[in-house]
Every structure is written in structure tokens, then in C-alpha cells.
Amino acid sequence: MNIQEASRRRSERVWMGVVAVASGLVFTVLGFLVAVLVMGAIGFAAQHGLVHTLLGARWQPLAGRLQIGLFIVDSALVTALAMLLALPFGIAVAIFGSLVAGAWERTVLRWILTLASAVPSVAYGWWGLAVVVPGIRGLGLGAGYGLVSAGLVLALMILPTFSVLAWEAILAVPEDWHQTSLALGANDDQNIIRLVLPASMAGLQTAFLTALARAVGETMAVQMVLGGAVSHFYGLFGPGATLTTQILTDMAVLPVGSPNHGVLDFMALVLFLGVTLMTGTMGRQVRGRGRP
């Protein structure tokens, strides 16, 4: 081994070390983040009781009544509403984009979806305040601030993400399969129902779960139109509060170091575990690549 070769080996080791240290830092910070949440949440749950906190619906943070059941229900309702609305439209966009649209339409559609998926959530919230809230009020369905308004805004917000992922899932169906299906005499409807949707089901599920995770975690767009009622359930058109919006609201009410601050960690951990469960059930997106 000559000197040049030895120095190459050494620089390889040094750089591998640099890369390892940088990723070690990343793992430490993210692990620390989870640890902070878990510690805070355990401290809180030990004091107030797990079941009591999760299933109760009384929220008076300054009086020490800290039960988050209502927020979980509201989070679930708003998210379910958003997904129910976004699902059919998202799949329609994916089918149109991959099977129906010509080159020109496809480009326009792609651009709109890309831009819309990057539009800030406060902009969707702004639209909710400007259009959805007055609209629902105009229909005589209450003040306009409420779970349904939040679900509508949220549905629109996750639609671009869901459509793009679903589109890619459908594109992954091999062209040969389409040809075979059509050659067997299937018409376009039968092709979609019997071939395209079943064949891309795994990808569609991934798209659905990704959009679901994003919907559950969204704060601002929901907060702006939700109304923020914490005391009891006012129905679908009535105001409410989700886990995310209530963390935001009560960061000022329960500052760090105050005795009941741990409930915020608890709520954040519930959110994080929920989202991890959703993404954890997804198929592998990035395939692990070993050394060749």
C-alpha cells in the first residue's frame, strides 16, 4: 500500500467519522425531544391518572381540572370529516391525472397541486374565515365557527398532498396490466374498478395515512375557524377545540414550571403516538439500501 492510498483510507475514515457525528447529533436531538415529552407526560399521568385524564371532559386548567377527552373527540371528528371529504376528491384527481388528462392538462394540474400543497396553513385559515365561516352562518347553522368549518378547511388543505401521493400510486400500476385488462375486453370503468384501484391499494393506503397524519397534526388552519369551546360538546356545527389548538391556547395559560404544565406534554404525546401509529402501519417508503 503506497502513501497516497494510505492517506485516502485515512480521509475516508475521517469523513465517515464526521458523517457519523452529525447523524449522532440528529438522533440525540430527536431522541431528547421524545424523552422530554415522555417524562412530562409520565409525571402528569402519575399525578392525575391515565384513564381519568383521557376519558373525562372537564377542562378548567387554572382550577386543576385537566381532562382531555373532549379534545380527543373533537380532533377525531374534525379529522374524520376532512378525510371523508378529501378522499373521494383526491382519488378523482389521481384518476383524472393519471388516466384521463392529456399532457397539457397534466402539467397544469401538477402545478396547481404543487403550489396548493405549499400554501401556508394560515392562508387556508384566512380563506376559512373569509368564506367558510360566513357561508355556514348564512345557512343559519350557528355562528359559523365550529367542527364542520374546521373539517371543510382541513379537507381542502390536505387534498393536494393526498392527490399527489394517490396519483403516484396509480401511476405505479404497470402499463402492461392496463393493456392486458383492456385486451380482455374490460371497458374503462371496469378497468378502474377491477384493476387500477385494487392494484394501487397499498400506495393509496400510504397516501391516505400520510394525509391523515398531517390532518391530525394541523394547528393553525383549524384554530382559526374552530371557535375554541372547551367546556362541553356543542354538536357538529358548534365550536370545539382539538388537541393541537388547545396546546397552542394553553401554552400561555400553563407556562413552563407551573404545576399543571405536564398536561401539555401529555396531549402532545397522545398526538405524537397517534401520528406514529398511522405512519408506522404504512408500507416501507424508502427501501433500506445496504452497501453494494
Residues 84-103 within binding reach of other proteins (CB under 8 A) = 88-93, 95-97, 99-100
- Residue 62 sits in the site that holds other proteins (CB under 8 A): no
- Residue 76 sits in the site that holds other proteins (CB under 8 A): no
Q: What percent of the chain is helix, strand and coil (3-state, nearest 5)?
A: 75, 0, 20
Which of these segments, 61-69, 171-179, 232-240, 262-270, binds other proteins (CB under 8 A)?
Answer: 262-270
- Residue 126 sits in the site that holds other proteins (CB under 8 A): yes
Q: Using CB under 8 A, which residues numbered 139 to 158 contact other proteins?
A: 156
Q: How far is the CB of 166 from other proteins (least distance, A)?
A: 11
Distance CA 20, CA 13 (A): 10
- Residue 289 sits in the site that holds other proteins (CB under 8 A): yes
Which of these segments, 60-68, 127-135, 142-150, 233-241, binds other proteins (CB under 8 A)?
Answer: 127-135
Q: What angle do CA 287, 288, 289 make, to 5 degrees?
A: 110
Size of site (CB under 8 A) for other proteins: 100
Please give the C-alpha separations between residue 67 and each of 177, 230, 288, in angstroms, as whole numbers. Answer: 53, 10, 42
- Name the residue nearer to other proteins (CB basis): 48 or 261: 261
Distance CA 239, CA 245 (A): 12
- Residue 214 sits in the site that holds other proteins (CB under 8 A): yes
φ, ψ of residue 59 to 5 degrees: the values are: -130, 100
Q: How far is the CB of 24 from other proteins (least distance, A)?
A: 9
Among 160, 203, 227, 239, binds other proteins (CB under 8 A): 160
Those residues with Cβ within 8 angstroms of residue 257's Cβ, 6 or more apart along the chain or in another chain? none
- Is 263 exposed, middle or buried, given 0-12, 13-18 or 19+ CB atoms closer than 10 A? buried
